[in-house]
């Protein structure tokens, strides 16, 4: 388990830093190189409604930055997480900018039965057991941590349904499945046989 966590931490170091403290250092007029010096390498340039933008894909979030300012400098930045797309404040004092780019969510530590409100980026690491906490998308009710039996049953079902969802996205689902927690039905992948 500790080996898996160290591998995850090393992989996360290579990803862009999209934490509020890093994003708050972005200001209008920066070049792509200056932005890369703050948050890391961008993924690739792309088009959005005909406007060119650069994408930074981090752990659980994506930053889209537009360089339409004078001499192709930073003019707008949008942080995208599961909950929302937030236009970042690129002017004003640092405290206001940190507040603007902090999107809070509820994190759950399965092992410690802890529940925390913290920034969506980066994923929260539990203060007690130092494991990465889990995030459940809005609309799915998580039982109170004090209800031990319901809590354990929920997380067992949640992990099972998440693995089925992963298999579906990889095209490896062998039969139709109804996901009760997410209230969706997945159709089995049909593989064509070669004649």
- What does DSSP assign to residue 183? T
- Of 137, 34, 52, the closest CA to residue 90 belongs to 34
pLDDT of 172 reads 87
* Collapsed DSSP state (helix, strand, coil) of residue 165: helix
pLDDT of 190 reads 66
Cα 27 off chain centre by = 23
Q: Tens digits of per-residue pLDDT, 132-169?
A: 999 998 888 899 999 999 999 999 999 999 999 888 88
pLDDT of 131 reads 92
- Of 65, 20, 5, the closest CA to residue 41 belongs to 65
Alpha-carbon dihedral 178, 142, 105, 118, rounded to 10 degrees: -140
CA distance 191 to 170: 12
Residue found under tokens 């340039």: 45
pLDDT of 146 reads 92
pLDDT of 1 reads 46
Query: Structural domain boundaries of the chain?
Result: 2-100, 140-195
pLDDT of 192 reads 46
pLDDT of 174 reads 85
Output the pTM of the full model. 0.77
pLDDT of 37 reads 96
Residue range 2-100, CATH number: 3.30.1450
CB 124 within 8 A of CB 116: yes
Write out the two tokens for 88: 């970042």
Q: Beta strand pairing status for 51-57 and 44-48?
A: antiparallel
Tens of each residue's pLDDT in the chain, 195 residues? 455 445 444 545 678 999 999 999 999 999 999 999 999 999 878 877 778 899 999 988 999 999 999 999 999 999 999 889 999 999 989 999 999 999 999 999 999 999 999 999 999 999 999 999 999 988 888 999 999 999 999 999 999 999 998 888 888 888 899 988 888 898 887 654 455
**What is the three-state SS of 6-65?**
HHHHHHHHHCCCCCHHHHCCCCCCCCHHHHHHHHCCCCEEEEECCEEEEEEECCCCEEEE
């Amino acid at each position: 388990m500790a080996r898996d966590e160290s591998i995850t931490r090393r992989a996360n170091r290579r990803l862009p830093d999209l934490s509020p403290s890093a994003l708050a250092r972005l200001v209008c007029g920066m070049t792509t190189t200056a932005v890369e010096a703050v948050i890391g390498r961008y993924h690739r340039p792309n088009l959005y409604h005909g406007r060119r933008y650069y994408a930074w894909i981090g752990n659980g979030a994506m930053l889209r930055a537009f360089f339409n300012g004078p001499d192709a400098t930073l003019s707008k930045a949008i942080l995208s997480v599961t909950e929302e797309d937030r236009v970042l404040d690129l002017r004003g004092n640092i405290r206001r900018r940190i507040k603007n780019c902090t999107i809070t969510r509820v994190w759950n530590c399965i092992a410690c039965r802890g529940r925390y409100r913290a920034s969506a980026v980066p994923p929260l690491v539990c203060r007690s057991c130092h494991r990465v906490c889990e995030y459940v998308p809005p609309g799915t009710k998580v039982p109170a941590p004090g209800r031990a039996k319901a809590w354990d049953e929920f997380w067992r079902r949640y992990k099972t349904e998440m693995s089925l969802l992963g298999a579906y996205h990889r095209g490896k689902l062998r039969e139709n499945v109804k996901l009760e927690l997410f209230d969706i039905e997945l159709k089995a992948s049909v593989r064509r046989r070669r004649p």
